[in-house]
Chain A
Amino acid sequence: EAQVTQNPRYLITVTGKKLTVTCSQNMNHEYMSWYRQDPGLGLRQIYYSMNVEVTDKGDVPEGYKVSRKEKRNFPLILESPSPNQTSLYFCASSPVSGQWGTSTDTQYFGPGTRLTVL
């Protein structure tokens, strides 16, 4: 089954304790991305990767790190979490969009990770 998996699904942690949220996809997609969802703001992109070893900042990258050592995996790292990083996090993947883009370029989302930083 084609899917994007995230772990953990729920996490409660304390300020300053490093954590990693894993993301893996089995569709051989080049593009992977992390979003955070906050009430009234929709989803905002944190980081993205166009391929292995190629990552770049999205709209809200402060306080986050990512790596892309393998095509299927794209972990999100919070080196020193703070309460303002309490949010619902989504990993997504898709093929790299062609010149004109099509519906097949739609992003497939993981189930989400609900993070609470106390």
Chain B
Amino acid sequence: AQKITQTQPGMFVQEKEAVTLDCTYDTSDQSYGLFWYKQPSSGEMIFLIYQGSYDEQNATEGRYSLNFQKARKSANLVISASQLGDSAMYFCAMREGTYGNKLVFGAGTILRVKS
């Protein structure tokens, strides 16, 4: 069964506007971590933001915030004030269980920022 689902293969957003990238996950573990990575056209994987399952507040890192809804098992990435440099592939990933390092990735969402 798909553990990480990103339902938006591609998204467009106007420069300076906010955009939400969807991510739902499936796990029976109580302890897990959720990550978002950015992959620009150059190919490298850039860590953006992390949310632990026990964190009560939504994570924020600059223009990135994670809308964590535990009951719905969703961990959407919100990018505020989009910039042209935000155009990239975005991956949601989950690390399950205690003492676990393995990341399970979604299929990704391609974001294009329009000027």
A and B interact: yes
In whole angstroms, how far apart are the Cα atoms of A15 and B63 in the complex?
46
Residue of B nearest to A90 (CB): B45
Contact A97 B99 (CB under 8 A): yes
Please tell me if A102 contacts chain B, counting CB pairs below 8 Å: yes
Q: Cβ of B44: which chain A residues have Cβ within 8 Å of it?
A: 109, 111-112
- A32, closest chain B residue (CB): B101
* Contact digits for B79-95, partner A, Cβ 8 Å, 1 yes 0 no: 00000000000010101
Q: How many A-B contacts are there with CB distance less than 8 Å?
A: 78
Q: Which of B70-115 contact A (CB under 8 A)?
A: 91, 93, 95, 98-108
Interface magnitude class on chain B: 20 to 34
Among residues of B, the one whose C-beta sits closest to the C-beta of A103 is B50
Most interface-central of A88, A100, A101 (chain B CB within 10 A): A101
Residue of A nearest to B52 (CB): A101
Q: Closest CB-CB distance, B59 to chain A, in whole Å?
A: 8
Q: Which of A59-118 contact B (CB under 8 A)?
A: 88, 90, 92, 94, 96-103, 105-109, 111-112, 114
Which residue from chain B places its CB closest to the CB of A113 in the assembled complex?
Answer: B43
**Nearest neighbor of A100 in chain B, beta-carbon distance:** B31
Q: Which residues on A are within 8 Å of B, measured CB to CB?
A: 31, 33, 35, 40-45, 48, 50, 58, 88, 90, 92, 94, 96-103, 105-109, 111-112, 114
21 contacts between A and B (CB under 8 A): A33-B102, A42-B105, A42-B107, A43-B103, A48-B101, A48-B102, A58-B102, A88-B43, A90-B45, A96-B99, A99-B31, A101-B31, A101-B100, A103-B52, A105-B33, A105-B101, A106-B50, A107-B47, A107-B101, A107-B103, A112-B44
